Amino acid sequence: MFLTLFIVDMKKKLFISHASEDKDDFVRPLAKALSDDFDVWYDEYQLVMGDSLLEKISKGLSTCDFGVVILSQHFFAKKWTQQELNGLFALEERDKKVILPVWKGISNEDVKRYCPILADRVAAKAEDGVDNVVKEIKKAVMFFERGRSVEKPMPGLHRLRMSLQKKTERERSKRIVCSPQGVSIVMNAVKQTIDTLHDQIQSLRGQPSGKGIRIDGPKGNTNEYQIKVWVGQICLKVYYRNNVINSAMDAQIEFFIFHSKINSWGRISQSNDRESYSPHIDLNDNVLWRSKGGQLLSFVELVDKWLEKFSKRIEKR
């Protein structure tokens, strides 16, 4: 399990991702020290029973200016911390967000094995003490904010840079998706998406209100992967298919909600909420899901969107 800090200033916001094992000896003191200069949003004080962790993470990621990532052996061992890091990478490339790494009890070789992209970035070190880490974070924020202020008078140049970056990313995505490497990257993203949905639903089954929930899956193979979540006769199904061995160009993940019932002609299914998404691989090999309208969604945003739709369908019955 891990916990997240979300620090807010009038001009900038920091999303701090860390493993819960690092909280007592470093992260909590770091948050306290940062509170001298920032208005600190802290999960231990702000989250209440019934809050959606996925929703909080999704909102925090989408609104942050900078992501401070406390890299440690505990961080490397957890699935959700990797998902948060992937989300920060996606935001950094799409909206020019900046990841600020802090190493805690690890070496450059450890970071290379876990995330080679971050190994080349200058990082603060927890071993230097909380005060020095705070100074490094302030220095980095000031540096990047200064760079942004220089660009503000030239919005046309900024737009050109973003357009060229997106063009490069689209061309690379098409090339990678059409390769065996792309098949592997997309399949891992599919499992991450469907397994996240499963974990979110599974967390409700131990509660009194979740006794009527049924989960079928996840199950499948390299060509297809799916899960069904039932509440009564209403089902949320997620289904991935790829009929080509060495390419994911035609691969799609489909979300749809249907109502299954029996009448005089037998069992029928009614569905009017259905959408397919194709994979888009960004410059850091993270997969974003593209809707037919062209919108790019992270796996967190996609799962959250369909949990919301599923909830509304249940409320109508």
**CATH classification of the domain holding 142:** 3.40.50.10140
Name the domain count of the chain. 2
Give yes or no: residues 236 and 310 share one domain: yes
Give yes or no: residues 109 and 219 share one domain: no
Give yes or no: residues 304 and 225 share one domain: yes
Give yes or no: residues 143 and 202 share one domain: no
Q: Burial-class residue 50 by CB neighbours within 10 Å (0-12, 13-18, 19+).
A: exposed
pTM confidence score: 0.50
Does the residue 171 lie in any domain? Answer: no
Residue span of the structural domain in which 209 resides: 179-316
Q: Is 263 helix (H, G, I), strand (E, B) or coil?
A: strand
Blockwise average pLDDT, block size 10, the chain, 317 residues? 46 76 90 75 48 53 76 86 74 65 92 83 91 90 68 69 86 89 92 92 81 89 91 92 89 90 55 87 89 91 93 84
165-213 pLDDT, tens digit each: 888 888 888 898 889 998 999 999 999 999 999 999 988 877 777 778 9
Give yes or no: residues 206 and 301 share one domain: yes
- State residue 54's pLDDT score: 53
Give yes or no: residues 131 and 231 share one domain: no
Q: Which of 21, 44, 55, 84 is catalytic?
A: 84
Q: Scan for tokens 């997309």, then name that residue.
A: 186
Does the residue 47 lie in any domain? Answer: yes
Q: Scan for tokens 């770091």, then name that residue.
A: 30
Give yes or no: residues 93 and 6 share one domain: yes
The pair phi, psi for residue 85, each rounded to 5°, is -65, -40
Give yes or no: residues 184 and 259 share one domain: yes
Tell me the C-alpha distance between 62 and 90, whole Å: 10
Does the residue 161 lie in any domain? Answer: no
Does the residue 280 lie in any domain? Answer: yes
- State residue 11's pLDDT score: 58
Does the residue 170 lie in any domain? Answer: no
Active-site residue, 84 included: yes
Give yes or no: residues 148 and 183 share one domain: no
